[in-house]
């Protein structure tokens, strides 16, 4: 009987559910996953690339990680075309804030403004919600390093470690077990790779299926967003023993 209620995003079912929003979250459950981990000296984002074809030529080095502003980056899981719209509005918001106040936008405000947009599509008629979850990693002078996770309903929260996309519940529970407070950025990278190696469908983890990005402070005090190169990522995978180099090279 849910048919009567699930075609409209804005109407509650008799059980008090919004089916379109739930379906949107379902869509994300099939997308490539992403993991974010907060450490004491930075935030780490790792994403699983769904390689569609050998012939596909990607224009950018990353397909899941986006820099929003100098001090904020995000990882995406879900429908990329929807994500592009939201990323654009996030970038506009960040620049508008800088225009008004001449200082970088606090991370939570940026996340909140984006989630307000997402929420609007669960309430105002005729349109479907955004099928995207985000992990936001950033730094600001008020709260230091921060990690936020948001979903299609427009909910968001601050996390020490979070996972979105395929197998996010399994990843989340491993993170819950293995996360320790005050880990370093390097340990966070190791943990993220380990979790992803366990939750990803593919048997061996290789650099062409992964993306790694970090947000940290340089000695000068400036915030740096750095994407790990495939070569460096391969070395990391071997170093942390989450890949099978022998099987790969033979």
Partner 1 sequence: MECVFGLVGDGFAILVADTSAVHSILVHKSNEDKIMVLDSHKLIAASGEPGDRVQFTEFIQKNVSLYQFRNGIPLTTAAAANFTRGELATALRKSPYMVNILLAGYDKETGPSLYYIDYIATLHKVDKAAFGYGSYFSLSMMDRHFHSGMSVEEAVDLVDKCILEIRSRLVVAPPNFVIKIVDKDGAREYAWRESVKDTPVSSA
Q: Which of 185, 193, 184, 183 has the alpha carbon at shortest distance from 234?
A: 193
Looking at the Cβ atoms of 1 and 100, the one nearer to partner 1 is: 100
Q: Site for partner 1 (CB under 8 A): which residue of 99, 177, 180, 182?
A: 99
CA 37, CA 56: separation in Å to the nearest integer? 30
**Site for partner 1 contains 100 (CB under 8 A):** yes
Q: Site for partner 1 (CB under 8 A): which residue of 32, 106, 138, 154?
A: 106
**Site for partner 1 contains 103 (CB under 8 A):** yes
CA 14, CA 10: separation in Å to the nearest integer? 13
Stretch that binds partner 1, among 93-101, 130-138, 150-158, 213-221 (CB under 8 A): 93-101
Q: Are 49 and 209 within 8 A, CB to CB?
A: yes
CA 90, CA 69: separation in Å to the nearest integer? 9
**Site for partner 1 contains 181 (CB under 8 A):** no
Q: What is the DSSP letter of 144?
A: E
Stretch that binds partner 1, among 99-107, 157-165, 185-193, 205-213 (CB under 8 A): 99-107
Structure-token pair, residue 181 = 């407070």
User: What character string, x for contact with partner 1 (CB under 8 A) and - otherwise, covers 129-168?
Assistant: ------------xx--------------------------
The C-alpha angle with vertex 29 and arms to 24 and 35, in degrees rounded to 5, equals: 120
Looking at the Cβ atoms of 141 and 239, the one nearer to partner 1 is: 141
Four-residue CA torsion sign, 75, 27, 233, 209 = negative
**Site for partner 1 contains 247 (CB under 8 A):** no
Looking at the Cβ atoms of 15 and 101, the one nearer to partner 1 is: 101
Q: Are 219 and 191 within 8 A, CB to CB?
A: no
CB of 90 to partner 1, least distance (A): 17
Residues of this chain that interact with partner 1 (CB under 8 A) are 99-103, 106, 108-109, 141-142
């Amino acid at each position: 009987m849910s048919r009567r209620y699930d075609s409209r995003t804005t109407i509650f079912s008799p059980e008090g559910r919004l089916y379109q929003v739930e379906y949107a979250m379902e869509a994300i459950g099939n997308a490539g996953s992403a993991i974010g981990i907060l450490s004491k000296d930075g935030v780490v984002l790792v994403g699983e690339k769904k390689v569609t074809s050998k012939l596909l030529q990607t224009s950018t080095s990353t397909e899941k990680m986006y820099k929003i502003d100098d001090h904020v980056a995000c990882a995406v899981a879900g429908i990329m075309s929807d994500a592009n719209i939201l990323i654009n509005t996030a970038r506009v918001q960040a620049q508008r804030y800088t225009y008004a106040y001449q200082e970088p936008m606090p991370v939570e405000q940026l996340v909140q403004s984006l989630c307000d947009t997402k929420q609007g599509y669960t309430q105002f008629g005729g349109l479907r919600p955004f099928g995207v979850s985000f992990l936001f990693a950033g730094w600001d002078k008020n709260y230091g390093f921060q990690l936020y996770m948001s979903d299609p309903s427009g909910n968001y929260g601050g996390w020490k470690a979070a996972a979105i996309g395929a197998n996010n519940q399994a990843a989340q529970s491993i993170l819950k077990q293995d996360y320790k407070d005050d880990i370093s950025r390097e340990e966070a990278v190791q943990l993220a790779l380990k979790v992803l190696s366990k939750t990803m469908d593919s048997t061996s983890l290789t650099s062409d299926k992964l993306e790694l990005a970090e947000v940290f402070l340089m000695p000068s005090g400036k915030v740096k967003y750095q994407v790990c190169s495939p070569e460096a990522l391969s070395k990391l995978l071997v170093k942390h023993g989450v890949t099978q180099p022998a099987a790969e090279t033979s």
